[in-house]
Amino acid sequence: MSGIIKVENLSFGYTPQNTILKNLSFEVVPGAFVGIAGPNGAGKTTLLNLLCGLLSSDAGSIRIAAADIDSYSVKELARKAAVVASEFVPVFDFTVEETVMMGRTPYLGTFGFESEADRQIAVEALNATDTGHFASRPLGSLSSGERQRVFIARALAQNADILLLDEPTSFLDLKHQVGIYDLLKATQVEKGKTIVTVTHDINLAAQYCDKILLLGADGTYEYGCAGDIFSPEQIKKVFGVRVFVGKVGREKFFIPLGKFSKDSRQISEKANNDGPAGTLP
Amino acid sequence: MAELLTSKKLAIKVVLCLAVLAVVMGFCALKGTEKISLTKVFAGPGENTDYDIFVGVRLPRIILAALVGAALACSGVALQAILRNPLADPYILGISSGAGLGVIIAILSGISWSFWGGSPMAVFAFAGSLATVWLVWYVGRFAGKSQVTSLLLAGVVVNAFFSAVIMFLTSVANSQQLRATIYWLMGNITEKDWSVLLISAACILAGITGLFTICHRLNVLSFGEEQAKKLGVNTERTRVLAFGFAAFITAIAVSLSGLIGFVGLIIPHAVRLVFGPDHRQLLPLSAITGSTFLVIADTLARTVFGQEQLPVGVITAIAGGPFFLVLLARYSRKVSWLK
């Protein structure tokens, strides 16, 4: 199966002297769930903005659904890839349903009125994200978790095969973090969407993602299965942090330990004595 | 999803509001210092003073007020959307000072030729507004990365500069010229020829129709540039169109009636408070509400003090301010029965 997203030798820098993405190549197969991880400034959000056409690359190519990204118009690209980023809430009080309905924008005609079919798609998106019960509330009155779900609903209403997300769980509590990832997994499995999400939470990424793209701050990168990419050595190398590694079942989990963490010394001693399940590099 | 806008719902609301506007216009045309009766008007032309006053004097003036009201309100809607700023009004990007400068130059230089039935003041006002808008747009585009901020800044600076020039010129004008200028600056609706009305009506309606075709994009654009792009909106094109149409209809309104304040600021807010922020509905309803409001304001301006007429800009501010405050208090907690 060929990739729905195919990135080849991609390079990008905001200034000519300072390239943050160097010769990046990877491929995402249709229906995959890919996590992009890495330290601040490694270019995760930049990569996402390149993938949705907000930025254009300095060198290399991005192919979306077998066509070069530059060959799409803004409208055509919005039918291929929907984006959820840290979204700005406008001064005018649009309601939840009005906002979700705007996901249909790339399909509207001259005067921009939605058809019954558009309406149906928006209702489905509201139901899928469990936002239907506050559909008539203004956007400004929602909590961050609710609002994030509304923006995901809008992206679903866009009916694109690819869903790009930029840290969808930042500022959310544990329940809502898991809720968002469950929702994404459900869309992947039930609707066959390809999901690419930028995340800081390597534990959630390990639990939900099929593949991980780990970007280093120096322009290096690793791409592969979560189990292979997330190793204590890699994390130490990329993030510069010691981690405690454990294993629940299939996937590992990581607890970062700083110099003054309560368990920092304890774990070091334990590791020296018997090197058990939990190990430190 | 019962509350969402459909073209049918919108059509019903537009027709209802148009009916209200028609009634208001008819009623206001009968009011005035000279008493006229509707039955006599319907007797038709020829040796009929009532008919002559109604068709030759009152009606053109009322239609003019309606046109100007619609243009200013729609321009306010468009500019508030693209600048994402609820304080924006048709004059925020310097149109007022550019037109003012044009007018004062026309008055001081004593030019007397006319163009397409427009007085020299109207022609200079139109040219002045469009020149200013072009200047602001040109400077704003290259000033910085955040277009909205640089546009606003360019508008404020151009406004301040031209206002200074206007003040200098008024200080050297004689009292006759001064009075004409000040009346124009306060906003003043006077009787116009039918030919002028027809041309202006065609231009303003064309501009409003143009704005209507980008209304759903304005909805998305109020979520910011990036989100709009991700939703497939060509933001650059949308902004040029919105800005161009808004500037065009404002320039026509200003050349017809001077600087009538307040309509372009409060009408969009008032309509938004009652009907919600969806621009596809906000634009047509603001146009009709703006018309109704200005027709009433102008009728007050020409009747309150008998023979002595007030500039309509005075009425819009005095009557509009308190009315808007009441509306704000009433609707700031959303009521849903009108949506």
Higher pLDDT, residue B150 or B285: B285
Nearest CA in chain B to A99: B220
The three state secondary structure string of chain B is CCCCCCHHHHHHHHHHHHHHHHHHHHHHHHCCCCCCCHHHHCCCCCCCHHHHHHHHHHHHHHHHHHHHHHHHHHHHHHHHHHCCCCCCCCCCCCHHHHHHHHHHHHHHHCCCCCECCECHHHHHHHHHHHHHHHHHHHHHHHHCCCHHHHHHHHHHHHHHHHHHHHHHHHHHCCHHHHHHHHHHHHCCCCCCCHHHHHHHHHHHHHHHHHHHHCHHHHHHHCCCHHHHHHCCCCHHHHHHHHHHHHHHHHHHHHHHHCCCCCHHHHHHHHHHHHHCCCHHHHHHHHHHHHHHHHHHHHHHHHHCCCCCCCCHHHHHHHHHHHHHHHHHHHHCCCCCCCC
Side chain identity, residue B86: P
Residue B332 pLDDT? 62
Residue A269 pLDDT grade (very low, low, confident, very high; cuts 50, 70, 90) = low
Question: What mean pLDDT is reported for chain A?
Answer: 88
For strand A162-166 and strand A194-198, is the pairing parallel, antiparallel, or unpaired? parallel
Residue B336 pLDDT? 44
Residue B21 reports pLDDT greater than 90: yes
Across the beta sheet with A18-28, what order do the strands follow?
A18-28, A5-15, A59-64, A67-68
Measured distance CA(A111)–CA(A105) in Å, rounded:
11
Please state the ipTM of this predicted complex.
0.84
Measured distance CA(A147)–CA(A67) in Å, rounded:
33
Portion 234-253 of B in contact with A at CB < 8 A: 234
Give residue ranges of A with CB < 8 Å to any B CB: 52-54, 73-79, 82-83, 85, 87-95, 97-98, 101-103, 105-106, 108, 110-114, 119, 122-123, 126, 135-136, 138, 154, 158
Q: Across the interface, which of A54, A79, A114 has its CB nearest the CB of B229?
A: A54
Chain B contact probe: residue of A102, A121, A152 with most B CBs at under 10 A? A102
Measured distance CA(B132)–CA(B302) in Å, rounded:
32
Measured distance CA(B10)–CA(B27) in Å, rounded:
26
pTM for the model:
0.88
DSSP secondary structure string for all residues of A100-168: HHGGGGGG--TT----HHHHHHHHHHHHHTT-GGGTTSBGGGS-HHHHHHHHHHHHHHTT-SEEEEE-T
Residue B114 pLDDT grade (very low, low, confident, very high; cuts 50, 70, 90) = low
Residue B117 pLDDT grade (very low, low, confident, very high; cuts 50, 70, 90) = low
Residue A272 pLDDT? 55
Q: Across the interface, which of B219, B229, B278 has its CB nearest the CB of A74?
A: B229
Distance of CA A251 to the CA centre of its chain: 19
CB atoms within 10 A of CB A173: 12
Question: What mean pLDDT is reported for chain B?
Answer: 86
Q: Across the interface, which of B212, B222, B227 has its CB nearest the CB of A92?
A: B222
Q: What is the mean pLDDT of residues B90-119?
A: 80
What residues in A contact B334, CB-CB < 8 Å? 93, 138
Residue A50 reports pLDDT greater than 90: yes
Residue B143 pLDDT grade (very low, low, confident, very high; cuts 50, 70, 90) = low
Which tens digit of pLDDT belongs to each residue from A173-213?
898 899 999 999 999 999 999 999 999 999 999 999 999 99
Judged by a CB distance cut-off of 8 A, whether residue B219 touches chain A is yes
Higher pLDDT, residue A109 or A157: A157
Nearest CA in chain B to A83: B230
Measured distance CA(A21)–CA(A40) in Å, rounded:
13
The DSSP code for A257 is E
SS3 label, residue A12:
strand
Measured distance CA(A105)–CA(A76) in Å, rounded:
11
Chain A contact probe: residue of B231, B273, B281, B339 with most A CBs at under 10 A? B231
Measured distance CA(B293)–CA(B265) in Å, rounded:
13
Which tens digit of pLDDT belongs to each residue from B232-244?
999 889 988 999 9
Lowest mean pLDDT among A147-161, B140-154, B162-176: B140-154
